[in-house]
């Protein structure tokens, strides 16, 4: 039998969130979303803040928000190393908006490039989170 | 021979010590459960990260543009050893065995004519190393596990290491920590952080077949490596801190368990002596009374 499923793993520093074989995953890559099916070409990609969708039997079975990270794809498996990850359903809209507001203030207060970068990253994460919870 | 009162005092004091050690054991056991879960949960991430970086490192190996964090500063003169210990004692041989490993390393490196610097994570490591190697200690970081080990704390240490490396303050960085196996066994492990050490099996796979998957990169190799390398350091430190934390609690639990048992044995022994002495005193009094009566 030909293997038609891809082994997908999603790990964050705190825990292994997901490890199962799935039909397809769509990952928000640094240069655009990409779908991973079995026998995908080997790829290493950055991941931007966004939503990872897991497809089984033609339907989205799971949507997980990630705040950036890296993805490694080989013909048989797809591993996403996320900086932070949580199911979309668990996103706290209010908290995300508060975070966005705080980050904007940080950006305004930032004194050097490092602080500005950090604040800009925070804003991107918070915006992606709000967007994810709205869709 | 100790008087009855002395023995009573002695027994009472051993009993209160036993109460303390058994309470510490229970606290450690509760903390151990959490620490162990955390440590085990962090392993997959650190492993995957290392594997991913390993395959990247193999594919960029030998190229000129490889970042210094990967190929090193080109020298091997100054070694920085990060000694990860606990902030508190009373955990058996946990701190001492880590420090012993550190001493061995300092000695070996010193013998090769290298300069050694120390960064202590945890008060106990500093306390033990200060006497002999005080001038080598660059700094001490305390309270990493208080209230819990967080990724931010590990990141902060990693950021500091990266900065020091870029400023040319050291060439090679190694972290020493105790890998958690079980409450009874912890394995002191030195792990090289900078430059990145490719895991052996991946090295073999690369030289053996040469056909280990050729990856595509998005955006490009350099950018990914530049982001991944500092992150990997933070992840490996995070893992080390969590393992250390679990090991500490495990070691404390075992140590306090045997301390409680020893205290129990001691109480039994003392009680036996106490009873014998008491009976001897009663017998003596009886003899005195009887012989006094007979004399009359």
Q: Which of B91, B234, B241, B263 is catalytic?
A: B91
- All residues of chain A having their beta carbon less than 8 Å from the beta carbon of residue B228 are 70
Homologous superfamily of domain range B32-255: ATP synthase, F1 complex, gamma subunit (3.40.1380.10)
Q: Which of B120, B159, B156, B153 is nearest to B136 (CA)?
A: B120
Chain A: which residues have CB within 8 Å of chain B? Answer: 9, 11-16, 19, 29-31, 41-46, 70, 72, 74-75, 79, 81
The correct CATH number of A6-88 out of 3.40.50.300, 3.30.565.10, 3.30.365.10, 2.60.15.10 is: 2.60.15.10
**Catalytic site includes residue B173:** no
Please give the residue of chain B at the shortest CA–CA distance from A10.
B45
**Number of CB atoms found within 10 A of residue B22's CB:** 17
**pLDDT tens digits, B174-195:** 999 999 998 889 999 999 988 8
Q: Per the confidence metrics, is the pTM higher than 0.90? A: no
Under an 8 A CB cutoff, do B218 and A29 touch? yes
Parse chain B into domains and list their residue ranges: 4-21+258-295, 32-255
Most confident stretch, A32-46, A53-67, B164-178, B257-271: B257-271
Predicted complex: ipTM over 0.95: no
| Range scoring the smallest mean pLDDT among A110-114, B203-207, B237-241, B245-249 | B203-207
CB distance A10 to A64 below 8 Å? yes
**pLDDT tens digits, B111-139:** 998 899 999 999 998 999 988 888 888 88
3-state secondary structure of B181: coil
Under an 8 A CB cutoff, do B56 and A29 touch? no
Under an 8 A CB cutoff, do B227 and A44 touch? no
């Amino acid at each position: 039998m030909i293997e038609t499923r891809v082994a997908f793993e999603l790990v964050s520093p705190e825990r292994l969130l997901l490890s199962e074989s799935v039909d397809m995953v769509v990952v928000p890559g640094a240069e655009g979303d990409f779908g991973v099916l079995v026998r995908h070409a080997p790829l290493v990609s950055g991941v931007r803040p966004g939503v990872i969708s897991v497809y089984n039997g033609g339907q989205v079975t799971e949507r997980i928000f990630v705040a950036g990270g890296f993805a490694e794809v080989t013909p048989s498996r797809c591993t996403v190393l996320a900086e932070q990850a949580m199911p979309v359903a668990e996103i706290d809209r209010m908290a995300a908006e508060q975070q966005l507001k705080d980050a904007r203030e940080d950006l305004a207060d930032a004194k050097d490039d490092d602080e500005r970068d950090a604040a800009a990253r925070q804003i991107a994460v918070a915006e992606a989170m709000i967007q994810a919870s709205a869709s | 021979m100790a008087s009855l009162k002395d023995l009573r005092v002695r027994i009472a004091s051993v009993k209160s010590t036993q109460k303390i050690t058994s309470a510490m054991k229970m606290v450690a056991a509760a903390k151990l459960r959490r620490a162990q879960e955390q440590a085990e949960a962090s392993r997959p991430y650190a492993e995957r990260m290392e594997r991913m970086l390993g395959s990247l490192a193999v594919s960029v190996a030998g190229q000129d543009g490889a970042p210094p964090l990967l190929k090193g500063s080109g020298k091997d003169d100054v070694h920085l050893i990060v000694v990860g210990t606990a902030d508190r004692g009373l955990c058996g041989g946990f701190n001492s065995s880590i420090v012993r490993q550190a001493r061995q390393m300092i000695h070996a490196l010193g013998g090769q004519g290298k300069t050694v610097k120390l960064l202590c994570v945890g008060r106990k490591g500093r306390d033990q190393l200060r006497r002999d190697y005080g001038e080598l200690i660059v700094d001490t970081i305390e309270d990493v596990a208080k209230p819990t080990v967080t990724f931010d704390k590990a990141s902060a240490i990693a950021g500091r290491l990266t900065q020091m490396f870029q400023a040319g303050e050291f060439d090679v960085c190694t972290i020493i920590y105790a890998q958690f196996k079980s409450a009874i066994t912890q394995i002191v492990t030195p792990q090289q952080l900078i430059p990145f050490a490719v895991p052996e099996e991946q090295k073999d796979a690369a030289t053996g077949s040469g056909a280990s998957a050729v990856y595509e990169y998005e955006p490009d190799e350099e950018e990914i490596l530049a982001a991944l390398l500092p992150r990997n350091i933070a992840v490996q430190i995070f893992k080390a801190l969590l393992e250390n934390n679990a090991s500490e609690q495990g070691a404390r639990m075992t140590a306090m368990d045997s301390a409680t048992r020893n205290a129990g044995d001691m109480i039994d022994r003392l009680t036996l002596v106490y009873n014998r002495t008491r009976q001897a005193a009663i017998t003596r009094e009886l003899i005195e009374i009887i012989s006094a009566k007979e004399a009359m």
